[in-house]
Amino acid sequence: MSSAPQKSVYLVACGGHGRVVLDAFISSKKTVDGIIDAQLVPGSEIFGVKVLGDDSYLKNLDPLDTTLINGLGSTGSTRGRIEIFERFSKLGFKFDGVIHPAASIGAECKVDQSAQIMAGAVLQNRVEVGGNVVINTRASVDHDVVISEHVVVSPGAIISGAVKLGSGAFVGAGAVIIQGIEIGEGCVIGAGAVVRHHVKPNTTVVGNPAAQLE
């Protein structure tokens, strides 16, 4: 019995975060067939992977034979990543994620296929990670944390046990969220903030202790 044909894999957007994701794929022995990015020169290469052009390149591809990677980063807002993910998902494309071989994943974790877990990240046991999530370099996520879809956890952030992060939340670099806290959807946790209380949806908090940004 013959195996199913291998799908082609394309990275959509390859700026700083996209290169980190591409590097993680290569380090994980995954094949990337090309890069889609209007800001890059077609025919050029990044880490040996060729730039193919802008989004129009995908119009000629069958979504059933193609897998995409979301390479767009996030600096304080997850909306751009969400837009890419939702736009191409509506066209029938599926997204693939990656767990860097230098990440540590504990027992009974549930990580969506499209999530990106970067080098040095630690997930302790029974963490749930939703679709299109980024857990970035050396972020620490303790036991029983629930991370909803489209969340970005920036480098060096510390998420203590039993925290819940709502859809599309952004956690800045080096932020700390203590145990049992609930972060509402669309929230922004500023870099270096120390969150000691629940945060309402679509709220930005900064500082130590974290307080709402007026």
Tell me the pTM: 0.95
The pLDDT tens digits for 180-209 are 999 999 999 999 999 999 999 999 999 999
Q: CB 174: neighbour CB atoms within 10 A?
A: 17
* Domain covering 8-96, topology: Rossmann fold (3.40.50)
| Domain extent listing, the chain | 8-96, 98-203
> CATH classification of 98-203 is 2.160.10.10, yes or no?
yes
pLDDT score for 188:
97
Exposure string for 75-107, b = 16+ CB within 10 A, e = fewer: eeebeebbebbeebbeeebebbbbbbeebebee
The pLDDT tens digits for 3-54 are 556 899 999 999 999 999 999 999 999 999 999 999 999 999 999 999 999 9
pLDDT score for 5:
64
Q: CB 144: neighbour CB atoms within 10 A?
A: 18
